[in-house]
Amino acid sequence: MIVRSLEIYRYSIPFLQPILFGEIAHSNRVGFVVALHSANGKIGWGEIAPLPFFSNESEEEALSQLRQLSKDIKRESWDIDEHDVLQSCTDYLQNDISPSVAFGVESGLLHLGALYNDTIPATMLSADYAREITVNSLIFGDRDSIIQKAKERIADGFQTMKVKIGRDSLENDVALIKSIRAEIGPKIQIRLDANRRYDIATARSLFDQIADCAIEYIEEPVRDYLELMQLCQETVPKVAIALDESLRSISPQSLIHLRGVTTVILKPMLLSLTKSLLFASKGKEVAMNSVISSSFETSLGLSMLSQLSSVTSYESKKACGLDTLSALNGDIVTKPLTISNGMIDVTTAFETAKSLNMSTLRRITDE
């Protein structure tokens, strides 16, 4: 398929409540949308939303790369193999392209390829994909509200809860985790995310104290990848570990077997789609499951992430981390992504991506 032009749009959607990224509270999720136009009049949509603090690239850097791509395509159309979109995409994206920009363009091309082949993007990635994927419920707040929300989400059909820890004292974290387990019973999976807030000694002490809470895994317990390797060196950690932030500083090829590390958390907005898939396949080689996770995208980005998850979780059936839409007060589509009974239907999710609400987007014209 021939791609003739790339249009850029910007959106700004308020968060329901300001969210802290690093030290700074953000009141709005800001990002770009690209429309990739094919020679036969079809449009593929993709979202580019660098996440402040987590992404290396700024909004301005992403925009300037998008403008350059738009100029490139105008000068010379892209010839994309509609059966191997991601492979032929690499011919046109420079190595130094930012992950969010790569993710948006890869998404737009997969969207176009799916329209060409009259299918959904998941089938373009693999013949083995799940029609439905399960989702972990992301819950935060103080102890009482976390437990109340967990019970509500379980009543809604969610079977896996993800709770942020490491913001309070070790003692309070342990008490919180124990009371969640006691309150929700043994059947529900609990995932924890420390976002690198403990030192090694504190992490070990936490693991000792919650060893009998049947935690599925804890994301990034310690301050960096080196500490994590240290943590896993002497003995198998008493709680299974997942890598998230660490994946931004290592290459898929250098992902090694670490004792006790069971899972890689993949955020394609921060890694690109191609690199996420490489991490997924390398992870499989070293016996790690993949969990696709959101970076607070709108429904457009989440729709593509659900396609990816339907492929990477096909065998493991592990829940994905796409429960972030409720943090936004608004959307850029008319048919928002829906999670029902704790699940996303990936065919319905693709309809989401086709329902852009143009009144929420501001076109960015060439200078």
Amino acid in the structure at residue 313: S
Considering only 67-75, 246-254, 302-310, 317-325, which stretch makes contact with ligand OSB by CB under 6 A?
317-325
- Binding site partner of 54, from ligand OSB, Mg ion, none, Cβ cut-off 5-8 A by kind: ligand OSB
* Residue 309 binds ligand OSB, judged by CB under 6 A: no
Considering only 10-18, 229-237, 318-326, 358-366, which stretch makes contact with ligand OSB by CB under 6 A?
318-326
* Residue 295 binds ligand OSB, judged by CB under 6 A: yes
Residue number of the CB closest to ligand OSB reads 321
Query: Helix 143-155 crosses helix 170-184 at what angle (to 10 degrees)?
Result: 30
* Residue 159 binds ligand OSB, judged by CB under 6 A: no
Q: Which one among 7, 47, 57, 244 touches ligand OSB, defined by CB under 6 A?
A: 244
- Binding site partner of 106, from Mg ion, ligand OSB, none, Cβ cut-off 5-8 A by kind: none
* Residue 193 binds ligand OSB, judged by CB under 6 A: yes
Alpha helix locations (H) across the chain?
59-75, 85-89, 99-116, 121-125, 143-155, 170-184, 200-210, 225-231, 268-271, 273-285, 299-312, 346-353
* Residue 297 binds ligand OSB, judged by CB under 6 A: no
* Residue 293 binds ligand OSB, judged by CB under 6 A: yes
* Residue 138 binds ligand OSB, judged by CB under 6 A: yes
Q: Residue 288 phi/psi, 5° resolution? A: -115, 140
| CA distance linking residue 142 with residue 154, whole number of Å | 18
Within residues 193-212, the interface with Mg ion by CB under 5 A covers 193
Within residues 197-236, the interface with ligand OSB by CB under 6 A covers 219
Closest CA to 365 of 9, 74, 11: 9
- 39 near 1, Cβ under 8 Å? yes
* Residue 106 binds ligand OSB, judged by CB under 6 A: no
| CA distance linking residue 279 with residue 274, whole number of Å | 9
Residue nearer to ligand OSB on the CB measure, 324 or 360: 324
Residue nearer to ligand OSB on the CB measure, 119 or 326: 326
* Residue 321 binds ligand OSB, judged by CB under 6 A: yes
Residue number of the CB closest to Mg ion reads 244
| CA distance linking residue 52 with residue 69, whole number of Å | 23
Q: What is the DSSP letter of 293?
A: B
* Residue 136 binds ligand OSB, judged by CB under 6 A: yes
- 228 near 243, Cβ under 8 Å? yes
Residue nearer to Mg ion on the CB measure, 69 or 194: 194
* Residue 111 binds ligand OSB, judged by CB under 6 A: no
Which residues, other chains included, contact 322 with Cβ-Cβ below 8 Å and sequence gap of 6+? 135, 292, 293, 294, 302, 305, 306, 309, 337, 339, 344
Residue nearer to ligand OSB on the CB measure, 47 or 219: 219
Burial class (CB in 10 A: 0-12, 13-18, 19+), 367: exposed
Sign of CA dihedral 239, 245, 248, 250: negative
Contacts with ligand OSB, residue ranges (CB under 6 A): 54, 136, 138, 162, 193, 195, 219, 244, 265, 293-296, 321, 323-324
